[in-house]
Chain A
Amino acid sequence: MKIQVGVGGRDEFLYFLNSGADEFYAGLSSIPGHLYGGDNFSKEEELIEACFIAHSKGKKFFIAANEVRADLFDYTFEKLVYLFKEGIDGFILRDLSLLSAIKKKGIKAEIILSSLALCFNKDCLDFYADLGVNRLAIPEHILPFEAKSLIRNRRKIETEVFLTAREYCVVLNGFCYLKQFNGNCICRAAFKKGDSIFAMPRFSVKDHFSNLWDFYSMGAGILKIGRHPDKYYGKFVFKEVMAIRELLENCKDREEFVEKSMRVHSKFTEFLKKWKKKK
């Protein structure tokens, strides 16, 4: 299983390249992208250079342009065309008009449908495949039996999954306005409901790892790591993902994988807690 890492700059990219990441994605500040506090590359020359270095090691480099902005459409399209010509392997998208434009232009890039898109069934995957999508980042709120037709699809579309035990939104994060109350994410808050507390329901840690085992067993080929505002945090997540991947590849069944990965996850969580306290 390949590991794909989101990177926010040159130094971060080089760190993960030398640490064994298989693929990379990044944003460019001037292109609309969905970012949870991580960084974008500010200069396209640095992006192109990173891509060139990745290629020299036989790795791929993608650009995330996974938001919709009418005012930036023309600019974004032209920029993506330019970056593709300069060597970028493909794009992470969800904008239907961008998908159409890229297809119309005949650009043979790898087009990854963002996990933010509402793609939960094979008919929907077909719709996007007709627009040129040839890779899918599985949405976070899906059960393995629901994802089966997406992973084992008839269009030979590769699938990516996040390590949702570590990176997960309690609501569909492509359509979330919950930050508008106080500028912070409140989906994990304890809401007051009458005399009791309401927490938005979500997968348990065990569910996350059980699902991951199933996704992997069905054929999901890429494990994704998002960009993080704190570079040290990003590195911890990467180390955890490396450990989890090893378990995926070596455990004999789901039970063994879930037990061992939960232990690994727990150790990393403790470590992160201590590190955060020291900060």
Chain B
Amino acid sequence: MEKEKIEKAFFIHNLRNISRKHIAKLEIVCIGSEFCQNIVPEIKQIKMLKDMGAKKISIYTSFFTDYGISKAKKSISKIAEHFHDVEIMINDLGFLKWLNKKYPFLKKGIARPLSIDLIRMSQLNLSSFMKKNRLSSIETDEDNMTLNFNEKRPFKIYFRLGLKFMAVSRFCPYKREIVSKCNMECLGLIENLGIPSSNEKLISFQNGYFIKTSKRGKFVCDRVVKDLI
């Protein structure tokens, strides 16, 4: 059963494809990438979103190598110094450790795929982890997993609609290798892959593989995050 007053967030994968008018209407704007370390928002994008009227901004980050985390730290530092109200969604525990040291009061949550492990913890254990690490939310696309937590939980659950996670690789499907630097030519690019001996399609997006879901079971959440594709 959906809770009342659920926040609505929209994930914009390519800022070039969205108008000022549209941005101003959105309650929460999400940018970045959970799956590719090369797609880390820069301060100019945050400024642009704010100029366009974005009210709340949630920045999604991936898991990183040393090179990737170094770049992400520089970028997020500039953003955090100017915009204290951004939220950072995390997939890297090293990045979390750094954020807690440098910007302890920044709002933070756990994104997919890291949330796959954490959402399988008991409410007690997850609450303890979240509290210890100054985390306020966890995002999932697994409707059934959200039912394991009651309303007294000290963290918010974000439910992701649109692209349901199936797998991730560190190999870029476009460059066909592990890539440290790129021009993010894949932004917003989605490709359908026919699965042998199946009518279903796998979706290739950034470094991840997904399916589209229109049907979902019961779930509880405090925010719905929708991919704008």
A contacts, CB < 8 Å to B: 68-70, 73, 94-97, 100, 118-128, 141-143, 146, 149, 170-172, 174-178, 180-182, 186-187, 189-193, 198, 200-202
Contacts and interface: CB of A to CB of B under 8 A. Distances in A.
Contact of A170 (B91, B128, B129, B169): B169
B170 A97 contact: no
Contact of B178 (A68, A143, A190, A198): A143
B167 A177 contact: yes
Contacts of B169: 141, 170-172, 200-201
A182 B197 contact: yes
Interface centre among A96, A142, A180, by most chain B C-beta atoms within 10 angstroms, is A96
Contacts, number: 151
A70 B94 contact: no
B212 interface: no
B66 interface: yes
Interface centre among A123, A171, A178, A193, by most chain B C-beta atoms within 10 angstroms, is A123
Nearest to A68: B120
Contacts of B41: none
28 contacts: A73-B125, A97-B128, A100-B125, A100-B128, A118-B91, A119-B93, A120-B63, A120-B92, A121-B69, A122-B66, A128-B93, A141-B170, A141-B171, A141-B178, A142-B170, A143-B178, A171-B167, A171-B169, A172-B169, A175-B116, A181-B200, A182-B197, A186-B195, A191-B194, A192-B194, A192-B196, A193-B193, A193-B194
Contacts of B170: 120, 141-142, 172
B43 to A, nearest CB: 22
Given A73-B125, A124-B95, A146-B65, 14 more contacts: A68-B117, A96-B117, A97-B122, A100-B128, A121-B94, A124-B64, A124-B93, A127-B94, A146-B178, A176-B166, A177-B167, A191-B194, A192-B196, A200-B171
Interface of B: 63-69, 91-98, 113-114, 116-118, 120-123, 125-126, 128-129, 148, 165-173, 176-178, 191-198, 200, 202, 204, 209
B202 A191 contact: yes
Contacts of A121: 64-66, 68-69, 92, 94
A172 B167 contact: yes
Contacts of A172: 113, 167-170
A123 B166 contact: no
A116 to B, nearest CB: 9
Contacts of B166: 176-178, 180
A128 B94 CA distance: 9
Contacts of A142: 65, 170, 178
B185 to A, nearest CB: 16
Nearest to B171: A201
Contacts of A97: 121-122, 125-126, 128-129
A146 B113 contact: no
A96 B129 contact: yes
Contact of A189 (B66, B114, B196): B196
Contacts of A100: 125, 128-129
A189 B117 contact: no
Interface centre among A69, A119, A186, A187, by most chain B C-beta atoms within 10 angstroms, is A186
Nearest to A200: B169
Contact of B94 (A122, A176, A202): A122
B206 to A, nearest CB: 13
A95 B119 CA distance: 11
A170 B128 CA distance: 34
Contact of A175 (B67, B168, B204): B168
Given A97-B122, A200-B171, A124 B194 contact: no
Contact of B121 (A73, A123, A186): A73
B223 to A, nearest CB: 22
A68 B172 CA distance: 28
A157 B98 CA distance: 20
B174 to A, nearest CB: 9
Q: Which 9 A-B pairs have the closest CB atoms?
A: A123-B94, A192-B194, A124-B94, A97-B125, A141-B170, A191-B193, A171-B167, A70-B122, A201-B171
